[in-house]
Amino acid sequence: MATEQRDVDLVDGDVVQAFARAALLATLLGAVAPIAIPIPFSPAPITLQVLFVFLAGLLLGPLWGTVSILLYLAAGAIGLPVFAGMTGGLGVLVADSAGYLWSYPLAAGLIGLLVHRGTDLRDPTEVSTALVVAALVAATVLIYAMGVGYMAWLLELELWEAVTVGALPFIPGELLKIAAAVAIVESGRIDTI
C-alpha cells in the first residue's frame, strides 16, 4: 500500500500576521471582562469592551476587525468567561444585553469601512481626527441601537424606557472610550497590518 504525498501551500505571512493581531485584540477584549461595573437599574454593566471594539475597527480594518470580534464571540459561546463579569456560554448570547454583543462585529466593520475607506488598510494616524471621531460615534450609535432595541423587544419595554436603562447612563463612559481610542490611534505607537 503506497501513501501519496502532496505539497502543502504555505499561508501567506500577511494573513498569519493579520490573524494573530485579530486573535490578540479578541484576547484583549476578553481580558477586560472582569472590569464590569453593574448598574442597579440596568441589565447591562459598564465595561471597557467597547474600547477594544473601536480599536479592532481602527487598527485591523473592516475585515480583520470583524474577524477579531467574531473570534471573541466564538470564545464566549463555547463557554470561556470572556463576556462582561467573566461570564460565558450560549445563554449570554441570548440574554437581555446580548444585542450589544451582536452589534460588536458590525461596529468594528463599520469603523473599518469608514476609516480605511474599504478593505485596504490606511495608516489611521493619517486619517483626519474628525473622520475617526465620526466613525466611532456612528459605531456607538449602532451598538446602542442594537443593544437597546433587543433589550426593549426581549424585556417588553417601551422604547424610551429601554433607552433610559440601556443607553443614557453609558454616554459619559462612551465619550471617554472614544477619546481613549483617538488618543491611542494618534499616538502612532500601534501599526496597522
The pLDDT assigned to 2 comes to: 65
- CA distance linking residue 131 with residue 52, whole number of Å: 18
- CA distance linking residue 166 with residue 151, whole number of Å: 8
**Average predicted confidence (pLDDT) for the chain:** 90
- CA distance linking residue 186 with residue 55, whole number of Å: 12
Task: Lowest mean pLDDT of 45-49, 75-79, 111-115, name the range.
Answer: 45-49
Which cell goes with 174?
462612551
The pLDDT assigned to 57 comes to: 95
Q: Which residues pair with 83 in a beta bridge?
A: 87
The pLDDT assigned to 6 comes to: 72
Return the SS3 of 83: strand
pLDDT of 118 strictly over 60? yes
- 72: amino acid identity, one letter: Y
Report residue 75's pLDDT band, with 50, 70 and 90 as the boundaries: very high
- CA distance linking residue 65 with residue 71, whole number of Å: 10
Q: Using one digit for the tens of pLDDT, what is the confidence trace for 129-175? A: 999 999 999 999 999 999 999 999 989 999 999 999 889 999 999 99
Q: What is the pTM of this model?
A: 0.89
pLDDT of 8 strictly over 70? no
Average of per-residue pLDDT across 80-93: 91
The pLDDT assigned to 49 comes to: 92
